[in-house]
Amino acid sequence: MLIPDRWYAVLESREIAKGKPLGVRRLGRDLVFWRDGEGRLVVFEDRCPHRSSQLSLGRIVGGRLQCPFHGFEFDRAGACQLIPANGQAARVPKVFQCHEYPVAEAHGFAWLWNGRPRDEYPPIPWFDGLDGLNSATTSKEWDVDLTRAIEGLLDVSHLPFVHARTIGRDRRTLVNGPYTTLDDDTIRVWPSNQPDEGLPALRPTEVPPPDGPAMLEFRFPNIWVLKIAKSFQIVNVIAPIEEGRCLIYLKTYLRIGGPAFLARLVGFVSNLYNRRILAEDYTVIRSQRPKVSGLEIGEHFIPADRPIAIYLQRRRDLIEAAAEPSTTTP
């Protein structure tokens, strides 16, 4: 189950071209993304209310979405404005209404609201320190649930084993802590791994508070950042397709001197390496059962799993809170 009443990053904005609808499956729904005559983003259920054809197979005509089957035209509010078979002058019955979803664009991504529509929406979640940096994106679909993918990003003890030939080749198997905080739906993690020299690992409560920024941050419901340096950061967006499937967007942000093409080249090379790391994760994570994680599935934690336990607890709390009767009008 997805956390209700949250903005989910689901696509890169550049994937949604003006003048051509895009059909994708996100949040367990078949959707069509398109832009009206002014370039504003619109999202409908990918189904015509007339005969249930896929609207994503249609085209944009005069700033409206035209159904490929019988030419019905829908405005950005989902209302049918033309039924060709009835004639341009004919009145259009209100029953021909597409199901519209709240959507926003920010930080290069399209964000879909998972919840009931409301008059005012909360801010889009994002990370500080990325403005002004160059970026390069790669993506990969996984037959892995959103929950398992997020756990993998918060797991600090798997590196020497899953990534023994890449980022874990220094064999830092001992995990001190990690010191982890939860604040305003943001999990921050300060990894402190080292080679095992015969001393027991420090438990999370024994690690002193750090004096610098966290290396890892996760913001609910589905974005994560690795802060290698102020001028070099890696963002992961885990877009949920449906239960058991997600699309990983991996976006490298960096600033280097020299011509702009050099930054793009470095970002491209970085993403090639990052795809290799993702492939190492994928092999193991896709083997986990059950595919959807949770606190009640019979798994047992060690101190190094503190970030994962915090994520699962907070996720459960948010889902339960959303299920409680509201005392205010949305």
Q: What is the CATH number of the domain that holds 161?
A: 3.90.380.10
Token pair belonging to 62 = 């005069």
Say yes or no: 71 and 199 in one domain.
no
Residue at 168 is within a domain: yes
CA dihedral 161→218→194→280, nearest 10 degrees, is: 20
Residue at a domain's end among 62, 80, 114: 114
What are the φ/ψ torsions at residue 166 (nearest 5 degrees)?
-130, -110
Q: What is the pLDDT along the chain (330 residues), one digit of tens a residue?
A: 999 999 999 999 999 999 999 999 999 999 999 999 999 999 999 999 999 999 999 999 999 999 999 999 999 999 999 999 999 999 999 999 999 999 999 999 999 999 999 999 999 999 999 988 999 999 999 999 999 999 999 999 999 999 999 999 999 999 999 999 999 899 999 999 999 999 999 999 999 999 999 999 999 999 999 999 999 999 999 999 999 999 999 999 998 887 778 888 899 999 999 999 999 999 999 999 999 999 999 999 999 999 999 999 999 999 999 988 765 544
Q: Domain span at residue 252?
A: 134-320
Residue at 122 is within a domain: no
Residue at a domain's end among 81, 114, 147: 114
Helices 146-154 and 306-323 meet at what angle, rounded to 10?
140
List the CATH number of the domain containing 84: 2.102.10.10
Residue at 124 is within a domain: no
